[in-house]
Amino acid sequence: MNKNKKNQNFSSKNRHEVKSCTLDQIDRNSIGNFLEVECITDSVGQTSGPTLFSVSDGTGSFMLKGFASKPGERAHVEINAEDYISAKIKINEYNNSLEGEIISIKKLNDSEKNILIKRMQDLLRERSKARDVQFMINSPILDKLRESMMKAATEIKLAVMQNRPIIVRHHNDADGYSAGYSLEKAIIPLIEQQHGGGKSAWEFYTRAPCAAPFYEIDDSIRDTANSLRNVAKFSNKMPLVVIADNGSSSEDLMGIKQGKIHGMDFIVIDHHYFDKDVISQEVLVHINPFLVGEDGQKFSAGMLCAELARMIYQVENIEQIAAMAGLADRIDLSNEDAVNQYVKLAEGQGYSKKLLSEIATVIDFVSAKLRFMEAREYIETVFGEPREQQKKLVGLMAPYIGELDRKGLEMAKSGATLEKLGRVTLQLVEVDKTFPGFGFFPKPGRAVGLVHDFVQKDKNLDAVVTVGVMNTAITIRATDKADFSVHELIKEINKKVKDVFAEGGGHKNAGSITFLPSKKEEVLKVLRDFVRK
C-alpha cells in the first residue's frame, strides 16, 4: 500500500458509510471504515483460514481477505488473478499491517473495465517516469549513456508498480556487489511504498551473485524454476531480471533466451568487451560504454549502477559506493578523472581513499566466503548501513585481509617464472602448484593481480603480461605497453589449437580463458607466441 501525506483522510463519523477511494488513500485513519475500491486482482492465495486477494489500481497495492463458511475454504470462487473487480471492504489491522475484509466483490463489466485499465495505464506511466537528475560527476561517457539509463530506470520502476518481482544478478566481486547493492538501495524503498512496508518487499525482490563472469545457464534455470514455482503457488508474475557487471557477451545469450521463453524480461548493465552485440535485441535495455563507442575500462558497473540508482529513487550514501567500485575495479588507471571526482564526493561524506580501498578489500574477501549466499543483512553492514558498524568491521578485517594478501603475494613470488619474449616480459604462476587450493584467499585472480603489480615495481618493468595457469583455465593481467588483448588471444587459441573449445572474456588487459585440460600445453605455446609478437 502506498502512503501519501497529501491524500484526503477517509475517516468517517458514520463507520458504515461507504466511500470510493484509491488504494494509496488508505492509511491508519481508515481502520474500521467501509470503503469501495476498483482494482485488478494480481494474485489469489489460499490459507488455512481466509482467501487472500492481492490487488492493485495503479496507485499502490493492497491485500483483501475473503472468508468462506469454513476456514481454509476458497472464498469468492468466481474471482481469479487478472480479473478487474469492484469490492466493498472494511479496513482492519493485522500483524501491524492494514488489510481489507471483503464485504462484497464483483467483476467489472467491459465498459467499467476499460475505464479502469485506461486510468491505471495513465497512472503507471506517470509514476514510472525516471527521475531526471544530474549525474554525480561530469563525464561524456555518462552523457552518451543517459538515454538508455533513463529507459532502464523507467522499466525498473514500472516493474515495481506492476507488482512484478525483480531479480538482481551481479558478478561475485567488489564491483559486482557495488552494482547490485546500489540497485537494491533504490528498488527496495519503491517496493515498500508499493506494498506498505514490512516483509513484503523481500517477497518481490531477490539479489544473488554469479560465480561465473556471465549469466550462465545454471543461474538462469534456477531463477526460472523458482519463479515458476512462485507463479504456481502464489499467482506471482514472472520477474524482471537485472544483470549487473555481467550480461554483454555471447556466453550470456543462452541464459537470457532460456528465461525469456518462460516470460522473464532482462536489463543488462555491464562494462565488459564483446566481439558482437548479440544481447541488445534480446533485452529491454542494454547499457554498456562499448555500445556508445567508449571503452568499458573507463567506467565500472558499480559506478554505472550508482548513477542509475539515483534515476530510480532518491538514495543516500551512494557516492562512496561509486568511488569504491571504481577503485576496486582499477578504473583509476584508465579514467583517473572520473574516479577522482567520485572519491572527492565520498570524502565529503567522511570516506577517505584509504577507507574506500579497505572496504573494497573486505567485500572481495566476504564475496569469496559467501559465494552464492545472498547474505542481505551482512552486505548492508559492509556497505555502511549503519556506517559506525561498517567502520568497526573494516577496522577489524582490513588488517587481517592485508596479512592474507601479503602471504598470498609471497607464495605467488615463490612460484613465479619470468620469460623475456621480445620487448614484453611474461610472468607465469602455476596456481595449482603454488597455492593451497579450495577456499584459499586471495583467489587466483587477486593473487595474479598482486604479483603483477609487484613485478612491475620490483623489476622496473612497464611491458608485462602476468598469467595464472590452472589445468583448465588461465587468468591474465597485462600492462598497456604490453599491447595485449584477452579477446584476440581467445581467437588465436581457437584458431591455432584444434578442439580446444577456448572461451572467456573480461577486459582487454584483464580476463580469463577456459579450455580443455588436455590442451593446456598447446594453449601456453600459443600464449607465448602471442606475447612475443
Cα–Cα distance between 251 and 65 in angstroms, integer? 46
Distance CA 489, CA 527 (A): 7
Nearest CA to 324 out of 363, 296, 287, 298 is that of 363
Q: Which three cell numbers stand for residue 357?
A: 580501498
Domain 18-123 identical in fold to domain 128-396: no
Residues 463/482, Cβ–Cβ less than 8 Å: yes
The label of the residue with cell 549469466 reads 215
Distances (CA, A) of 195 to 31, 99, 198, 200, 310: 17, 11, 8, 7, 21
Single-letter code of the amino acid located at 299: F
How many angstroms separate the CA atoms of 17 and 223, rounded? 47
Q: Where are the domains of the chain?
A: 18-123, 128-396, 412-532
Q: From CA 484, how far away is CA 478, in angstroms rounded?
A: 7
pLDDT tens digits, 95-139: 888 999 999 999 999 999 999 999 999 999 999 999 999 999 999
Q: How far is CA 462 from CA 26, 336, 457, 479, 483, in A?
A: 66, 19, 9, 7, 11
Spatial separation of the C-alpha atoms in residues 339 and 180, rounded to whole Å: 19
pTM for the model: 0.88
CA neighbor of 355 nearest in space, from 309, 387, 378, 313? 387
Write the CA distances from 412 to 273, 400, 418, 431, 524, integer angstroms: 28, 19, 12, 8, 19
The percent of residues above 90 in pLDDT, for the chain, comes to: 88
Q: From the CA atom positions of the chain, what is the Rg in Å?
A: 27
CA dist 448 and 194 (Å) reads: 46
Name the CATH topology of 412-532: Diaminopimelate Epimerase; Chain A, domain 1 (3.10.310)
Q: What is the pLDDT of residues 5-57, one digit of tens each?
A: 334 444 444 446 789 999 999 999 999 999 999 999 998 989 999 999 999 99
Is 173 strand, coil or helix?
coil
Yes or no: domain 128-396 corresponds to CATH 3.40.50.800: no
The x, y and z cell numbers of residue 356, run together, are 574506500
Q: 18-123 is classed in which CATH architecture?
A: Beta Barrel (2.40)
pLDDT (tens digit, 0 to 9) for every residue of the chain, 533 residues total? 444 433 444 444 444 678 999 999 999 999 999 999 999 999 898 999 999 999 999 999 999 999 999 999 999 999 999 999 999 999 999 988 899 999 999 999 999 999 999 999 999 999 999 999 999 999 999 999 999 999 999 999 999 999 999 999 999 999 999 999 999 999 999 999 888 765 568 889 999 999 888 999 999 999 999 999 999 888 789 999 999 999 999 999 999 999 999 999 999 999 999 989 999 999 999 999 999 999 999 999 999 999 999 999 999 999 999 999 999 999 999 999 999 999 999 999 999 999 999 999 999 999 999 987 878 999 999 999 999 999 999 999 999 999 999 999 999 999 999 999 999 999 999 999 999 987 899 988 999 999 999 999 999 999 999 999 999 999 999 999 999 999 999 999 999 999 999 999 899 999 999 999 999 999 999 999 999 98
Greatest Cα-to-Cα distance within the chain, rounded to the nearest angstrom: 91
